[in-house]
A and B are shown apart, each in its own frame.
Chain A
Amino acid sequence: MLHKGPTVYRRIVFPTAALEARARWKAVNGKAGKTMLRVRVYYLDDQRVREYPPALFRYSSDSLNALLFSRQAAIEEAMREAAEATDAYFIWLGLALRDENTLLFDGMTHFFKFDPCLPFATSMLYGAERMGEWALLLQVGCTITESEIYRHFTEDARKRVKELGAFLQNWAYRPEERVAEVFVFADANGQFAIKDAREVVRILP
Chain B
Amino acid sequence: MRGPKVKRSIKIGATQIEIVAWWEKRGNQVGRTRLSVTCDGKSKTIAADYSDYPAERRNEFPGVLSKVAFAIAADEQARRVADSFVRRLGLTLQNALTELYRDFISQDASFYLDPKDAITTTCWFSNLQRAAELAGLLEAAREIISRELLKMVGWSQLLEKEREAGRRLVEVAAARSDERDYLVDLNFYLDLA
Contact = CB atoms under 8 A, between A and B. Distances in A.
Contact of A128 (B91, B122, B126, B131): B131
24 contacts: A99-B120, A99-B121, A102-B115, A104-B115, A118-B97, A121-B91, A121-B93, A121-B95, A121-B96, A121-B97, A121-B100, A121-B142, A124-B97, A128-B135, A131-B132, A132-B130, A132-B131, A132-B132, A133-B132, A135-B125, A135-B126, A135-B132, A139-B129, A142-B125
A138 interface: yes
Interface string B92-107: 1111111011101000
Contacts of A131: 128, 131-132
Nearest to A135: B128
B154 interface: no
Nearest to B98: A116
B135 A143 contact: no
Nearest to B118: A101
Nearest to A123: B97
A83 to B, nearest CB: 24
Interface of A: 96, 99, 101-102, 104-105, 114-118, 120-122, 124-126, 128-136, 138-139, 142-143
B122 A101 contact: no
B114 interface: yes
Contacts of A135: 125-126, 128-129, 132
Contacts of B139: 122, 125-126, 129
A114 to B, nearest CB: 8
A132 B115 CA distance: 14
Given A121-B93, A132-B128, 20 more contacts: A101-B115, A115-B101, A116-B98, A117-B97, A120-B97, A124-B100, A125-B135, A125-B139, A128-B104, A128-B132, A129-B132, A129-B135, A132-B135, A133-B132, A135-B129, A136-B125, A139-B125, A139-B129, A142-B121, A142-B125
A62 B53 CA distance: 53
Best-buried of A104, A105, A124, A132 by chain B (most CB within 10 Å): A132
Given A122-B139, A132-B132, A105 B100 contact: no
Contacts of A126: 135, 139
The 10 A-B pairs of least Cβ separation, nearest first, read A132-B132, A101-B115, A135-B128, A128-B135, A139-B125, A125-B135, A116-B97, A116-B101, A121-B92, A135-B125
Given A101-B124, A132-B133, A124 B115 contact: no
Contact of A116 (B94, B100, B113, B130): B100
A1 B51 CA distance: 54
Contacts of B135: 125-126, 128-129, 132
A191 to B, nearest CB: 26
Interface in B67-122: 91-98, 100-102, 104, 113-116, 118, 120-122
B138 interface: yes
Nearest to A143: B122
A36 to B, nearest CB: 16
